[in-house]
Structure 1
Amino acid sequence: MTKETSDSNLINQFLKYDYHDRGMMKWQGFYLSDHTSARTKKSNEEESKQALTHAIKMTSHEITEVINSAIMKSTPVSIDLSTKNIDGTLLEPVTGLIDGWYEDNLIINDAKVNIADIYAIYFSSY
């Protein structure tokens, strides 16, 4: 359609009555690459948390032997805790050198781990 043949009344009628611009609503369906990568990362983290499983449950005697050996040899350990978080998934293993103990707690990387909460403990390389 050329400028000479266009009907200005027809255009005005279309813009006034027929055409409805959705404004910003049309942009809300688009995700930025930052958003999609953040969502993918979060879903991967959630899947890895769901996939965590316990090692074989150790007796209190076995746990004590590993703790004593780790302290004497300054060897890093990885501890599976028997507690779960609010979502019902297992907590990440606590890994590091045993810095000491206080009452019924081990001190690992400035964090206290109750000995009663240890499900399994094994030597680690960090």
Structure 2
Amino acid sequence: MNNDEYDPNLVNQFLKYDYYDRGMMKWQGFYLSDHTAVLDKNNRVQDRKRNEKHIEAMTAEMIANTINDAIVKCYSVQIDKAERSIEGIVPSKVEGLISGWFGSQIIVANEAILIEEIYAIKKLAP
């Protein structure tokens, strides 16, 4: 189309009567690749959390022996707490060195954990 064929009345008629702009509705269905990548990542994390299981249960004596060994030999541990959320999701395991204890609590990764709340504990490879 060149300028000789341009008819401003035809354009105005199209915009006034024939064209319907849906405004922001047209943008609501579009996702950028960044958005879909984040959504996929969040879905994978949620699926992993839903399918995560507890480590094999340990007796109180086994837990106490592992804690003592970890303190004496200074190795990192992974602690699985005996709890689940309302949705049935097992919380993330706490990993790190046992940096201290007082009473019936141990300190791992700057988090105080009651020894009675420990479901299982295992030594992490160095």
Q: Runs of 5+ in structure 2 lacking a partner?
A: none
5+ residue gaps, structure 1, are none
Identify the residue that residue 60 of structure 1 maps to in structure 2: 60
Q: TM-score, normalised by structure 1?
A: 0.85
Percent identity over the alignment? Answer: 44
Equivalent residue of 1:67, what SS? helix
Checking the alignment, whether the CA contact within 8 Å between 2:63 and 2:120 is kept in structure 1 is: yes
Mapped to 2, the partners of 1:89 and 1:97 lie a distance apart of 25
CA distance, structure 2, for counterparts of residue 99 and residue 2 of structure 1: 79
Tell me, in whole angstroms, the C-alpha distance in 2 between the residues paired with 1:46 and 1:17. 49
* Residue 104 of structure 1, CA deviation: 1.1
8 A contact 2:50–2:88 mirrored in 1 = no
Instruction: Give the aligned residue type for 1:18.
Output: D
Q: Which amino acid in structure 2 is aligned with residue 15 of structure 1?
A: L
Q: Secondary structure at the match of 1:89?
A: coil
Please report the RMSD computed on the Cα atoms of aligned residues, expressed in angstroms: 2.2
1:4-34 deviations in whole A, cap 9, x for unaligned? 7888766544432232111332122111122
Report the equivalent of 2:104.
104
Aligned length: 126
CA deviation after TM superposition for structure 1 residue 86, in Å: 4.4
TM-score, normalised relative to structure 2: 0.85
Mapping 1:20-59, distance limit 5 Å = 20-59=20-59
**How far off its partner does 1:47 sit?**
0.9
Match of 1:70 in 2: 70
- Other structure's SS at 1:100 match: strand
> What's the counterpart of residue 18 of structure 2?
18
